[in-house]
Chains A and B, each alone.
Chain A
Amino acid sequence: MARKSKASVESTEVLSGENAIQNKEIEGLSQGQIVRKRFFRHRAAVISLYTLIGIVLLAFTALDFRLFGIWRVPGWWKWTPEDLPELRFGDCPNDTVGCPTISFLPKFLGGQGIGLGTHPFGQDDIGRDFFALVMKGTQRSISVMVIIGGIGATLGIIVGSISGFYRGRIDAILMRFVDFMITIPVIIIGSVIGYRYGNLGATFLALLLGLFAWTGLSRLVRGEFLSLREREFVDAARVAGATNKRIIFKHILPNAIGVIIVSVTLLLSGAILLETALSYIGFGVVPPDVSLGLLISQYQDSFTTRPWLFWYPGLFIISIALSINFIGDGLRDAFDPRQRRRISKKERQESATARKLAQAND
């Protein structure tokens, strides 16, 4: 037998050690528990999750919010986007007006002290409180995103699972239709719809855009269904007398859920960028309504003199999209069965000493 080099012996030992650590971690846990555990170990994803929750809470509690259009939930912020407080000037740098009063520098370091002030994000050219405007814009952009994502996900899952499960003619028809739709750039169809229906309100616009956002997801779900329906557990369910509906919802869909969730997060971050881009070129949310893209488009010319009108909406768009992308990344890792976490040196040493002890005891 060939001599094994020392390095390779070590590496196989390390590998089996890693396996042991990983196996021990998932002993006796359900699939959901394993996924949750893995997700919460992805530090960037967890930070992003909390950031996103924070942004949503901030935006939706700051201003009055109509729950389902009926119940009015009062907000805690003193201004609304419609208020016209007096424009602050005099104490701003470079003779500008309405500069932000938010301050992070404590007094003993020469700053204003940590606090919000009257207009934390400043004021726009007619004096409206910019914090209120940005919060309103964030509300709009998030709700548009959720509606597009919700409709896109529902349609995509339904069309994808029907065409992957039943195959044959219905699959051919649906997938040809998807081919047609995918060829049309989403920015063109979005602009066409936005130009005509943007003035009917952000919700209606989002509903229509959602009708065109499902195509990519449906292809993915179809692919998953095509491979899963050939597996033994589906045959077993069929032999046991399960109906098609039961097989789809109870057997195949839960197995495809990882791929679906990851791709829905991508759909969501794409949706917020689509909405802001459309609003920016004037085909999305239209004034007097407010959205983050619209704010940037309205105030981009004042970037040199009053940059805060440009920075704050942009920072909110980026924070939302970035958090969603990282959450998606964390979910992808959590759902991936082949995913192996990097075992830290400490854990490796601990497991090695444990194994040596066990060998010594034998």
Chain B
Amino acid sequence: MVAFVLRRLGVLGVILFGSSFILYNVAAISGDPTADLRLSTDPNRDFLIASLTRELQLDVPPPLRYFLWLKGVLGVFVGNPDFGIGRDGSAVVDSLALAIPVTLRLVAAATLFAAVLGIMIGIVTALRQYSRFDYSMTFIAFLLFSLPVFWVAVLLKEYLAISFNNFLREPNIPINWIIGIGLVSGLFWASVVGGSRKTYWTTYGVAFAASSALVTIFDITGWLLNPSLGPVVVLALSIGIAFGVTQLSVGLINKAALRASLTMAGLSVVAFYPVNWVFDNHPGALSIFLMACVLITTAVFVGLAFSKIDRAPIVRTSIITAVLSASLVLVDKFMQTWKPYMETDAINYRPVPTVGQRNDLLDTSDFWISSLDVVTHLFLPTLALTLIGFAGYIRFARGTLLEVLNQDYIRTARAKGLSERTVIMRHAFRNTMIPIATILVADFAGVIGGAFITESVFAWSGMGTLALQGIRAQDLNLLMGVFFITATLAVLANFAADLLYSALDPRIRVGSGA
């Protein structure tokens, strides 16, 4: 195993060396950093050219200059990386240090949403194969595949940011919108649930009534301007989560698991006011992290307390329930921050921004307001990347689940009389997740490339913007710095995917064979 990992890391090193060598030379041949100086009429032009040549070592031919660059980069191993200097004289390392977290934040959020939504819809389409829902989702997936991300971004800016901000000035939802939302949600849920014609129309009616009523309540109470959940709604949703998670995870027939997760849901609500007190008096990421630790520890103990045999699934169920219902409390806190956030001078009731990764005018002394600011700025770019990305997950999850459902062991599971839930969740879903998990890891690196365009549309100063700036200004060191980071992340992610695959799938053994 150790030998395998070492050998693979060696191969990765060789790949990084080869690809960076190719890109360095292609980029160096394609651009001359002194080109714009040659055209200038500055009297000390020749001096500027000479000093730039000396600083960037342009007198060394590119293939050799590459090794000078590589020598600096290899300083990573002694804790002193040197990616050279940019054309403006600043160290590339510093620009990268600012840009990496920005891009990672965007990519992580987009990948997470795309994967979760895509896998859920993909599984439903596979279970309802050849239904109308399947066909419409297939069409939507192909449509999203074919959309240019910059086009989507401009549309989102127009309709979700500018129009929505205008709408928020006087948030009265017109009656035809209420009916429209109800009709669409009815169609969606009825297609998801499926079944006989009677079930279909019942679901349709219930979903229509529920969502229209919900939107009407939002409208009447001015919820969009001053949203909150409050302990009652949190309790109701938590109980719903407890039942849902238990059903999916072990089945409602398992009373111990149901009791454990209901207890956790209840505890989250009991903790509602104390937690909010902590939020107000000790804001910060650290206190959230500590409370999450306390929460998970409690969930483990509750799970253990309620179970006598077969403890692991019950503990797992109670942990999932606890995390989901506690995040409702966190969401509620963000909702309470919404009104003060909108009232700040920097925001002035236009909360959905179209550019940038944060509002520089905003007073950042309040932890919650500045966090909410990060969230609202993430909203549109993440949505654009998610829309493009999740089509792939729908198709992939659908294809994999259909493949798995055709296997003999599924037929065996059905034949021995297991419930449909057990067959789908325990036998089919888990085997579907093996290839999806590996794709997910590899995709994370791929999205970084796709984020370049998104960043440039939304004027984020992430790695994509740096790379484009490097190309425009013929700044080779800057470009290579960005490339080195993204390429390293990409090959490491692929490697991690391989290891994950062998860890998840016992049929694949690492280190055997070549």
- B142-180 at interface with A (beta carbon < 8 Å): 142-143, 145-151, 154, 158, 162
Given contacts A188-B467, A191-B471, whether A183 and B150 have CB atoms under 8 Å apart is no
- Is the CB–CB distance between A280 and B150 below 8 Å? yes
B376 at the interface (CB under 8 A from A): no
CB distance from A273 to the nearest CB of B (A): 6
- Is the CB–CB distance between A300 and B154 below 8 Å? yes
How many angstroms between the C-alpha atoms of A339 and B31 in the bound complex? 50
Counting residue pairs across A and B whose Cβ atoms lie within 8 Å, the total is 122
- Is the CB–CB distance between B147 and A318 below 8 Å? yes
Given contacts A322-B142, A325-B145, whether A180 and B18 have CB atoms under 8 Å apart is yes
Residue interface mask B463-475, A partner, CB < 8 A = 1: 0000110011000
- Is the CB–CB distance between B146 and A179 below 8 Å? no
Residue interface mask B393-410, A partner, CB < 8 A = 1: 000000000000000000
A233 at the interface (CB under 8 A from B): no
CB distance from B475 to the nearest CB of A (A): 12
CB distance from B455 to the nearest CB of A (A): 10
Q: Please, which residues of chain A bring their CB within 8 A of the CB of B346? A: none
- Is the CB–CB distance between B15 and A303 below 8 Å? no
- B298-346 at interface with A (beta carbon < 8 Å): none
Interface centre among B23, B149, B450 (most CB of A within 10 A): B23
- A325-362 at interface with B (beta carbon < 8 Å): 325-326, 329, 342
Q: Chain A interface residue count: which class?
A: 35 or more
- Is the CB–CB distance between A188 and B145 below 8 Å? no
CB distance from A350 to the nearest CB of B (A): 20
B288 at the interface (CB under 8 A from A): no
- Is the CB–CB distance between A314 and B148 below 8 Å? yes
B461 at the interface (CB under 8 A from A): no
- A251-291 at interface with B (beta carbon < 8 Å): 269, 273, 276-277, 280-281, 283
Chain B residue nearest to A324 in the complex (CB): B146
Contact of A318 among B16, B146, B449, B452 (CB under 8 A): B146
CB distance from B506 to the nearest CB of A (A): 24
Residue interface mask A293-331, B partner, CB < 8 A = 1: 100110010011000001000100110011001100100
Q: Which stretch (B204-212, B225-233, B361-369, B484-492) binds chain A? A: B484-492
- Is the CB–CB distance between B486 and A280 below 8 Å? no
- Is the CB–CB distance between B143 and A188 below 8 Å? no
A176 at the interface (CB under 8 A from B): yes
Q: Please, which residues of chain B bring their CB within 8 A of the CB of A195? A: 30-31, 471-472
- Is the CB–CB distance between B23 and A184 below 8 Å? yes
Q: Please, which residues of chain B bring their CB within 8 A of the CB of A273? A: 146, 148
How many angstroms between the C-alpha atoms of A44 and B14 in the bound complex? 45
A193 at the interface (CB under 8 A from B): yes
- Is the CB–CB distance between A183 and B453 below 8 Å? no
B458 at the interface (CB under 8 A from A): no
Contact of B148 among A185, A196, A293 (CB under 8 A): A293
Contact of B15 among A179, A269, A329 (CB under 8 A): A179
- Is the CB–CB distance between A184 and B487 below 8 Å? yes
CB distance from A282 to the nearest CB of B (A): 8
Q: Please, which residues of chain A bring their CB within 8 A of the CB of B19? A: 179-181, 183-184
- Is the CB–CB distance between B483 and A184 below 8 Å? yes
Given contacts A197-B30, A277-B149, whether A326 and B142 have CB atoms under 8 Å apart is yes
- Is the CB–CB distance between B22 and A181 below 8 Å? yes
A84 at the interface (CB under 8 A from B): no
CB distance from B473 to the nearest CB of A (A): 10
How many angstroms between the C-alpha atoms of A122 and B455 in the bound complex? 31
CB distance from A122 to the nearest CB of B (A): 17
Contact of B150 among A177, A296, A304 (CB under 8 A): A296
How many angstroms between the C-alpha atoms of A197 and B482 in the bound complex? 22
Binding site for B on A (CB under 8 A): 44, 176-177, 179-181, 183-189, 191-193, 195-197, 269, 273, 276-277, 280-281, 283, 293, 296-297, 300, 303-304, 310, 314, 317-318, 321-322, 325-326, 329, 342
- Give 26 CB contacts A-B under 8 Å: A176-B14, A180-B18, A181-B19, A183-B19, A183-B491, A185-B490, A188-B449, A191-B467, A191-B471, A192-B30, A196-B30, A281-B150, A296-B150, A296-B151, A300-B150, A303-B158, A304-B158, A304-B162, A314-B148, A314-B151, A317-B151, A318-B146, A318-B148, A318-B151, A321-B146, A322-B146
* Supplied contacts A293-B150, A321-B146, 10 more A-B pairs, CB within 8 Å: A176-B14, A179-B19, A189-B26, A193-B26, A196-B30, A197-B30, A269-B146, A277-B150, A310-B154, A317-B151
7 closest A-B pairs by beta carbon, nearest first, are A185-B449, A321-B146, A196-B30, A180-B18, A183-B19, A322-B146, A180-B19
